[in-house]
Structure 1
Amino acid sequence: MTSQSIDIPQADRLSHLRRLALAIRDGVSHPATLQEYLGVDARHFNYYRHGAELLALAERREQGLRVTTLGERLLETAEGSLDERSVFRQAIAAAAPLAPFAGYFAGESVTSVQLARRIQSLTKLSSSTAQRRARTLARWRDYLVGPEHAPTTELSIPKLGEQLERMVAHHNAVAKQRTLDWLHRATPARFEGICAELLCAMGYDQVRVVGGSGDGGVDVLAVHRDRWGHQLAVAAQAKRWSRSLGRRVVDEMIGVLVRGRLGQAILITTSDFSKAAREAGAAEPRLRLVNGAQLVELMAAHDVIVGFGRHGELVDLDPERGRAGVPRAYLGLEALASQTHARSP
């Protein structure tokens, strides 16, 4: 029996697969927001996305990832509980690509070297790669076994800080997605105005919106004073796109930068940038690329529409969408405490 290399998971933490399923269930779909929520880069995020699909916790639909019935069952259990580990065991047992390791997950006594050799014989992966995959499977099995609770006379108090951090991280992922959805529904003029307001809050001078038909690829103009007191002309383009921006858009913005002899150009989007677009942007030090997750983070840092509450949670500061002058959270933190067990309304 042979297996493809992709059949052997690379997502080290089963707890992250649960968090990914929770974020997807609660409507988070922006790739950069999901990566930030899990604390991983794009490559490792793909590992977790593949792991969730491998265990049938999530599946790809035309609209993006969706949580499966099994994923819903997982989220109905308490994190770290025996019930949760039971669902994970069922998911692993039902995953056809993991059938060669059924004995291992059932408790078979196998050394890490033997496990790596088994993976190598099945997939023809290199020895070092097989060892890394073996470590992932070992971490999965350790999680399924659970922590040992030996009797102790020492004082033991649950760590609330870590739970709060997870709650706030989940809240912020959902809040960022909702903010991006709201920005995407805004009119072009409204979105350009918000970007202009952000530049003002960040200290840019002479900010004005110039977007419209025939804007030449520029939506907002501003002046930035550098540390030496020199004034630099700045042009920004605001794109409410749902798909990632490709290299062509970045190249066009670089053309605006060069032709206009600008000191700085800023390309802002509610979506993200392709790898080629990021590479092109990195080659031009005067160009700043701002994706959707970064945009909301900047807005919150400068109190534009949204801000940060006392626990670092995103709150709504816009009186047009909340109670006038009173910041409110998208989701109450009290409700968040039970989000790992039940869907929020």
Structure 2
Amino acid sequence: MTRRVQETTARPETVDPPTAPAGGARAIAIEELTLPGMPDATYREQLLATMKSLPPGGFERLCQRLLRESGFEEVIVTGRSGDGGIDGHGVLELNPFVSFRVYFQCKRYDGSVGPGAVRDFRGAMMGRADKGLILTTGTFTSDAKREAVRDGVPPIELVDGERLIGMFEELELGLTPRKTYDVDLEFFKPFKE
């Protein structure tokens, strides 16, 4: 629930600021989604902020759900450290004769994922999967995009924050659709006479 929605309910006058974990980085708390100065954040901004606020395991499980909803089968989050950046794997069946084993990596980033992350992930999945998938709330550098489709190596599909939001919209996953209307002024013209 975002702060905009919470404003209609009682809430404490003071809120302790979130503490930053070791390393200085911190996840965005759910209550911080509608930031001061951003009271009219779009649902796309709120969705992205919500994804960034999830703990690493939660974001991995969210990506697992997205992959399942997108037609992947046997999607498993590995949740192991020391796995070379592999967060999970699944099978994408194109038809009864063709299927692909896909390994995926999930990155909650504000910034850009570079080519080194793509190379490292490819190295971890080599010989284990037909294709790789990196999902991020951030973006990918142009070098990372080139590295993902480099000749002679398994391809890595890159899904940035904008594309990720588009997938959630298409599947209506985590989003509640709303019906709205525009007034048809032409309809009312005959009644003005």
Which one has a larger percent helix, Structure 1 or Structure 2?
1
Q: CA deviation at 1:292?
A: 0.5
Length, aligned pairs only: 142
Per-residue deviation, 1:293: 0.9
Query: What SS does the corresponding residue of 1:250 show, helix, strand or coil?
Result: helix
* 2:157 corresponding residue in structure 1: 288
Contact residue 132 and residue 155 of structure 2 kept, 8 A: yes
How far apart are the structure 1 equivalents of 2:176 and 2:167?
9
Q: Distance in 1 between matches of 2:102 and 2:50?
A: 26
Q: Which runs of 5+ in 2 are unaligned?
A: 1-36, 183-193
1:263 matches 2:133: no
Amino acid at match of 1:225: E
Task: Give 1:249 deviation, angstroms.
Answer: 0.5
Structure 2 residue identity aligned to 1:268: L
Shift of 1:176: 1.5
| Number of the residue aligned with 2:143 | 276
User: Which residue in 2 is equivalent to 1:298?
Assistant: 167
Match of 2:49 among 175, 181, 198: 181
Q: Is the 8 A contact 2:83 2:124 kept in 1?
A: no
Aligned equivalent of 1:220: 88
Check conservation: 1:300, 1:307, Cα contact below 8 A. Answer: no
Cα separation, 1, equivalents of 2:132 and 2:168: 18
Greater radius of gyration (CA): 1
Task: Work out whether residues 254 and 287 of structure 1, in 8 Å CA contact, stay in contact via their aligned partners in 2.
Answer: yes
Runs of 4+ in 1 over 6 A off after TM superposition: none
**Residue 229, structure 1, aligned to residue 97, structure 2:** yes
RMSD between aligned residues: 2.5
**Contact between 2:130 and 2:154, CA under 8 Å: does it hold in 1?**
no
- TM-score, structure 2 as length reference: 0.66
For structure 1, the 5+ residue unaligned runs are 1-66, 68-170, 312-332, 335-345
In structure 1, C-alpha distance between the alignment counterparts of 2:46 and 2:92, rounded to whole Å: 31
CA distance in 2 between counterparts of 1:219 and 1:310 reads: 37
In structure 1, what is the Cα distance between the partners aligned to 2:154 and 2:171?
A: 24
- Give per-residue Cα distances to partners, 1:126-172, cap 9 Å, x unaligned: xxxxxxxxxxxxxxxxxxxxxxxxxxxxxxxxxxxxxxxxxxxxx9x
Partner amino acid for 1:200? R
